[in-house]
Structure 1
Amino acid sequence: MTVSPSRFALFYALYFALLGCIAPYWGLYLHDLSFSPAEIGSLMALFGVVRILAPNMWASQAERFRGPVQMVRYAGLLTLVCFSLIFITQSFVGVAMVMLAYGFFWAAMLPQYEVLCLRALGNQVDKYSRVRLWGSIGFVVSVTALGVLLNAFEVGVLPIVMWALMMLITVNSWLMPDVSHPRSPSEGGGESFWRYLFRPAIVGFILLNVLLQLSFGPYYTFFSIYLDEAGYSAAMTGVIWAVGVIAEVVLFWQFGRIMHLLSWRAWVIVSLVLTALRWLLTGVLIGSLPSLFILQILHAFSFGVMHAVSMRYVQKLFPDHFHGRAQALYSSVSFGVGGALGAWISGLLWEPMGGTLVFALAGAASLAGAVVAWLTLSPVKR
């Protein structure tokens, strides 16, 4: 039995609606708890660190489950249970433990869904983009609605909304058909899998994604705080975030029609250069709302193009029986290593250097990723 694309669309909508709570507003919640920028950066870095470990640890235990669906069911349930503890702690250590615990299980879900979805769609990136865009729609709805909600209520309402979304994600996973896929005898053979990582194209692919996510560090950790300090309301903060993701939605919807215009490597390089420009000008033009809207549109490249093409590279660079582990690796090293470093470094530098310079450094990291892509990736165009 195969899983309907609509079931994946619902998962993406809910999962990224939850991300729409975390990325723009979790920093504000931590700020409301009176944590310093360094503490906020450290907490977000810890959340990134667990995303390094969790996908690979779960993928290495895949043979203990009937299939990916059973795995995401348990991961969703344990995510919900662990996050529930946020309602009984506000200390730095307590919040850190909750973030580590629920993050460990939450991070296990997306790579498995990505593998299931791509298999169900025959690894066709254009079809995948049209299913994945529902995640962007979920993010837009979440971030916009929360902006309005936080204008009316205190930011303390945020964990309640997040808990409700986690409950819906868990329910959705238990309603999915319990499909399983035959495993190759070599799947799970760690030694042969790790040998692939020494290939120049794979090293370059991993490094450029680490640099990209490192560049997102100040954006995911401090952008909403930066907007608040610049005088923007919570509702307008939600709108600003939504503009970027709406551009991402349009990109996912139309990417199948335009992807043939450039090679995969060219798409990566163009996206990373535009991302570098985006971060540099964000720090300079934070006080100009029209400029921020224009810069947010570049999120179509910073995330939309980069994720769609990266998913295809994962399928190309690794053989079929390693796609599950490769997807977990991609998730852990890019969003985990890159995200953790970006959050930690931006937390350390935010007060002494200020937002303008920190965003400029983020731009430099993205530009370095473009150089890595030019030197290591092959110009595939299919």
Structure 2
Amino acid sequence: MNLPQAGETPPPWFATRLALGFSANFIFVGLYLPYFPVWLKAQSLTPFEISTVLSMSLVIRVLASGQVMAFADRYHDRSVLLSNLYVASALSVLLYLFTGSFWPILAVTLLYNFFFNPVLPLLDAITLAGVRRYGTDYGRIRIWGSLVFVLANLGGGWLLASGEPQLLLHAIIAAMVAGAAISFVIPRIGRRQAASPHGQEALTRRKLLANRPFLLVLAASGLGQASHALLYGFGSIYWQTLGFSGVFIGLLWAIGVFAEIAVFQYSKAVFARLSPVQVIAAGCAGGALRWALFPFVDGGAAFLALQILHGLSFGAVHIGLMHYIMEAVPEENLGAAQGAGFVLGGIAMGAGVFFSGPLYDGLGAHGFLIMTAVCLAALALLAFYRVIPTGPAAVVK
């Protein structure tokens, strides 16, 4: 259990301000993730070009985010760096207004993702530091991002129903600009001056990636999240082909996030009974079931029921990984740990998104069976994790 350290008092409204930061981030993500591919299709991009645009943004994550996160551990305050990156992201995303074809869209996507990709792991690192210092509840803070994600899904569905894809782009841009402004209320807690009670020697990202237990958990989590690549790239497009309205598509996304919210809400009770690695494994198993059923589901009610598994396939994997990092890595190295996870997750998701275009083009919904195999590969890695020396001490030594 992570207890507040003696003599440390959180800044005023600490949890509320972090919840606001997550909310601002997920207004953008809740619009971008389901509906940006729809806007790309409206610009006459092919499935291959759509998957290229989406996957190249993840290549930038691999090339830049790890270095930015490691730098954040040495920066005087992670929150200040976060705001600087957010402002640069907002200025970059405005350039979409001057695009309309593949190459300019790709260039703007690469530019804004260079700045924006580190924002969420920085916010996670700040929150995990608060969990360590002040005993705050990560799940209760992160849940607000998911709630706002639902509202953004529904709002984007309403815009999609209007039949004007350009409105989706305007909403995406407005959400990013609003997020940049809100980033200045995120608490400035600075770097810990005293050594972390968990800490021994400082851990670089290279040392973390050389540790087999840590590497296996991050790789399995990355595969679990990457199994969503086909859904993120072509889920809304596929549902359109089934004749679902924009509002109903927004509801489908929202139901999944409601399930995720339930996992976050009761995560404290879950972790009293299960280890973080067991929670990640449960999430990957839920993902395997979700994608195995996806091609054979027929009708709106069946899809609504199937979307509930998002609580496992995304929610359990994400919060399981956050708790694993929190228990295994000292505070002064949270940025490096988040960066390592972002690099591995970015590689897996980037490959998944890049191949999702040809996969959807060739197999349609049956491409989700490949995503089932990805989840099973993640479970195999976690099974191997059980036969080597593990535990927090194995990571921090």
User: What TM-score do you get using the length of structure 2 for normalisation?
Assistant: 0.89
The structure 1 residue matched to 2:349, chosen from 319, 329, 339, is: 339
- What's the CA shift string for 1:325-364, capped at 9, x where partnerless? 1012212321x112111111111222122221x1000011
88, 95, 109: which one aligns with 2:105: 95
The equivalent position to 1:219 in structure 2, one of 222, 225, 231, is: 231
Shift of 1:168: 1.6
Q: Does 2:11 align with 1:2?
A: yes
* Alignment of structure 1 residues 1-382 onto 2, 5 Å: 2=11, 4-62=14-72, 65-122=75-132, 127-182=137-192, 192-285=204-297, 287-334=298-345, 336-356=346-366, 358-377=367-386
Cα contact 1:143–1:241 (8 A) shared by 2: yes
Post-superposition offset of 1:184 = 7.9
**Residues 71 and 351 from structure 1, CA distance in 2 versus in 1: closer, same or farther, beyond 3 angstroms?**
same
SS in 1 for 2:137: helix
Query: What's the CA shift string for 1:24-52, capped at 9, x where partnerless?
Result: 11111111111111111111100111122
Deviation track 1:39-90 (CA, whole Å, cap 9, x = no partner) reads: 1111110011112233212123337743111101110110011001000011
Shift in alpha-carbon separation, 1:200–1:66, aligned structure 2, 3 A: closer
Deviation of the 1:185 alpha carbon? 9.4
Q: Per-residue deviation at 1:380?
A: 6.6
Equivalent-residue separation in structure 2 for 1:11 and 1:45 (angstroms) = 26
Number of equivalenced pairs:
377
Distance 1:223 1:315 in 2: 32
**Per-residue deviation at 1:259?**
2.6
Judged with a 3 Å threshold, the aligned counterparts in structure 2 of structure 1 residues 87 and 236 are, in CA distance, closer, same or farther, namely same
The amino acid that maps onto 2:184 is W
Question: Identity, % of aligned pairs?
Answer: 26
1-side partners of 2:273 and 2:390: how far apart? 12
Q: 1:220 to 1:210 in 2, by over 3 A?
A: same
1:35 alignment partner, SS class: coil
Q: CA separation in 1, counterparts of 2:75 and 2:30? A: 30
Once the two structures are TM-superposed, the CA of residue 210 in structure 1 deviates from its matched residue by 2.5
Unmatched 5+ stretches in structure 2:
1-9, 393-397
CA RMSD of aligned residues (A): 2.4
SS of match in other structure, 1:61: helix
Distance change (3 Å), C-alpha of 1:171 and 1:360:
same
Which whole-Å deviations, capped at 9, do the CAs of 1:75-124 have from their partners, x for residues lacking one?
01100110010000112110001111111111121111111112223279
1:149 CA displacement: 2.1
Distance 2:217 2:149 in 1: 26
Q: Are the equivalent residues in 2 in contact too, given 1:240–1:292 (CA < 8 A)?
A: yes
Shift of 1:321: 2.4
Structure 1 unaligned blocks of 5 or more: none
| DSSP 3-state at the match of 1:316 | helix
